[in-house]
């Protein structure tokens, strides 16, 4: 799996959009970009994933650059409950059951 790089921490004001960047310059053509988050004392929670098109679900939007070397997770209206460590992970999803390789992630702190 390709290595991903994220800033160690970010702050965002409650109610504003939180934009979390991720670099994955060595990602291969068959690797997806996944985002998980881990709220304190809980297990990681799946947020969203994509291959090359932008994706949106009820939790967030994922914007992937055309060259696929970076992406941004967008939480459109951050709340205090969004304070968590966010992990960007590249992973092949074409079958098989390899586990996730977590990096250090970004600790997002939502400020009231």
Partner 1 sequence: DAMVIQNPRYQVTQFGKPVTLSCSQTLNHNVMYWYQQKSSQAPKLLFHYYDKDFNNEADTPDNFQSRRPNTSFCFLDIRSPGLGDAAMYLCATSRDFGGFNQPQHFGDGTRLSIL
Q: Which stretch binds partner 1 (CB under 8 A): 8-16, 21-29, 50-58, 93-101?
A: 93-101
Binding mask 39-58 for partner 1 (x = CB under 8 A): --xxxxxx--x---------
Backbone angles phi, psi at 28, to 5 degrees: -95, 165
Residue 101 near partner 1 by CB under 8 A:
yes
Which of 33, 73, 78, 105 lies at the binding interface for partner 1 (CB under 8 A)?
105
Which of 24, 104, 106, 110 lies at the binding interface for partner 1 (CB under 8 A)?
104
DSSP codes, 32-93? EEEEEEE-TTS--EEEEEESSS-EE-SS-EEEE-TTSSEEEEEESS--GGG-EEEEEEEEE-
């Amino acid at each position: 799996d390709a290595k991903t790089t994220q800033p160690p921490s970010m702050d965002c004001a409650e109610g504003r959009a939180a934009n979390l960047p991720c670099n994955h310059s060595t990602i291969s053509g068959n690797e997806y970009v996944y985002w998980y988050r881990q709220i304190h004392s809980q297990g990681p929670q799946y947020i969203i994933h994509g291959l090359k098109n932008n994706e949106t679900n009820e939790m967030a939007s994922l914007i992937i650059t055309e060259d696929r070397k970076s992406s941004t997770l967008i939480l459109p209206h951050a709340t205090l409950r969004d304070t968590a460590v966010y992990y960007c992970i590249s992973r092949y999803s074409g079958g098989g059951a390899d586990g996730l390789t977590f990096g250090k992630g970004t600790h997002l702190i939502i400020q009231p």
